């Protein structure tokens, strides 16, 4: 039986790689792609998802967008992924359209339709999930599990010395989610994702292929001559191959710093019962091999 998933994302090059990986993984049934502002504004993120889909044939997931801004403060994007989010690689604009329905409403409706059957995979800031929790926490409790790419525990941040990008963009959303989520939840922070580097030598296999998805990947990855940490694809892989990583149960209250130099920093508080696990170890070479095998 295929695993039903919703992917909440802010494409982004590694998000685009994660979407491609998910589409190429027959174990997954993608019920929806929901877009949040992060690497780019949500409008651009939705169009980027559709641009990625143009590299594939057949029936593809519907795309919905929502939060154009974080909960409290104006969006601060990074040009790490280029002006357009896909490395300014010249990939054509899609003629496809995203759906008019609110992404948050979709995130609420689908678990009601498939209770305890859907895995929610959050690859961007947690704004959409926070809004959905505020609107209907009982519906969100019907997700089978929640996967979150975000945070850093024992390693430096990737946007400031202390913060990972997704939690930094909307720390209020991350804090709200961590304090209110009741589902079985797994956090994939930089402690594991920064161990999985896709090098130029590894992605040479795509240069030898003529399929549109291979061409798109090569164009995007040329932006990173030193290689790219595949943060978001690792979470997709974990949803298919749970033994790829090792996890520890969090036995303390988790929160996120909201302001100052530590804005976006994941912090631990007093001992508490929790449904949250944190990934702390990954079979990095196997992860790269699986990614290349799936995409190629």
Question: 93: closest CA among 151, 144, 52, 128?
Answer: 52
Q: What is the mean pLDDT of residues 233-261?
A: 96
Per-position b or e across 243-267, b if 16+ CB within 10 A of its CB = ebbebeebeebbbbbeeeebbbbbb
Q: Give the per-residue pLDDT at 22.
A: 97
- 253 vs 198: CA distance, rounded Å: 33
Residues 188-203: pLDDT tens digits? 999 999 999 999 999 9
Q: Which helix (H) or strand (E) holds 295?
A: helix 284-295
pLDDT-derived band at 174 (thresholds 50, 70, 90) equals very high
Instruction: Return the DSSP state at 263.
Output: T
**Cβ(250)–Cβ(277) below 8 Å:** yes
Q: Which helix (H) or strand (E) holds 138?
A: helix 137-140
Q: Give the per-residue pLDDT at 217.
A: 94
The boundaries of the domain holding residue 164 are 3-295
pLDDT-derived band at 209 (thresholds 50, 70, 90) equals confident
Residues 112-130: pLDDT tens digits? 999 999 999 999 999 999 9
Q: Give the per-residue pLDDT at 192.
A: 98
Residue 10 among the catalytic residues = yes
Q: How many CA atoms lie within 13 A of 55 on its CB side?
A: 24
Q: Give the per-residue pLDDT at 82.
A: 86
Percent of the chain surpassing pLDDT 70: 100
Question: 120: closest CA among 221, 6, 13?
Answer: 6
**Cβ(216)–Cβ(91) below 8 Å:** yes
Is-above-0.85 flag for pTM? yes
Question: How is residue 246 written in tokens?
Answer: 């090792």
pLDDT-derived band at 296 (thresholds 50, 70, 90) equals confident
Instruction: Return the DSSP state at 242.
Output: G
Q: Give the per-residue pLDDT at 58.
A: 73
Which one of 8, 10, 14, 170 is the catalytic residue?
10
**Cβ(27)–Cβ(5) below 8 Å:** no
Instruction: Return the DSSP state at 208.
Output: T
Q: Give the per-residue pLDDT at 29.
A: 97
What 3-state class would DSSP assign to 197? strand
Structure-derived torsion over alpha carbons of residues 287, 194, 82, 291, reported in degrees to the nearest 10:
0
pLDDT tops 80 at residue 78: no
CATH number, residue 48: 3.90.245.10
Looking at the 3D structure of the chain, how many domains does it have?
Answer: 1
Give the mean pLDDT of the chain: 95
Q: Where are the beta strands (DSSP E) in the chain?
A: 3-9, 28-35, 63-65, 118-122, 145-149, 185-188, 197-198, 228-229, 245-249, 252-256, 266-271, 276-282
């Amino acid at each position: 039986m295929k695993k039903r998933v919703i992917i909440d994302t802010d494409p982004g090059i590694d998000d685009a790689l994660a979407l491609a990986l998910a589409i190429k993984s027959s174990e997954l049934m993608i019920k929806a792609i929901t877009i949040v502002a992060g690497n780019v504004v949500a409008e651009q993120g939705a169009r980027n998802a559709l641009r990625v889909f143009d590299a594939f044939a057949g029936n593809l997931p519907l795309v919905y967008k929502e939060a154009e801004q974080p909960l409290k403060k104006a969006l601060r994007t990074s040009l790490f992924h280029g002006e357009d989010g896909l490395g300014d690689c010249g990939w054509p604009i899609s003629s496809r359209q995203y759906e008019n329905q609110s992404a948050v409403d979709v995130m609420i409706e689908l678990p009601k339709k498939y209770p305890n059957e859907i895995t929610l995979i959050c690859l961007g800031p947690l704004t959409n999930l926070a809004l959905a929790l505020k609107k209907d926490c009982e519906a969100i409790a019907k997700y089978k599990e929640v996967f979150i790419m975000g945070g850093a525990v024992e390693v430096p941040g990737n946007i400031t010395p202390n913060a990972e990008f997704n939690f930094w963009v909307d720390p209020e959303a991350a804090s709200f989610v961590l304090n209110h989520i009741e589902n079985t939840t797994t956090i994939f922070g930089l402690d594991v994702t920064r161990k999985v580097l896709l090098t130029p030598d590894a992605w040479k296999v795509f240069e030898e292929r003529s399929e549109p998805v291979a061409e798109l990947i090569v164009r995007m990855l040329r932006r990173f001559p030193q290689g790219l940490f595949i943060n978001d694809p690792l979470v997709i892989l974990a949803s298919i191959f749970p033994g790829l990583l090792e996890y520890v149960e969090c036995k303390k209250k988790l929160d996120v710093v909201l302001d100052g130099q530590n804005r976006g920093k994941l912090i631990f508080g007093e001992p508490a019962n929790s449904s949250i696990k944190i990934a702390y170890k990954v079979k990095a070479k196997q992860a790269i091999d699986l990614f290349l095998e799936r995409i190629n």
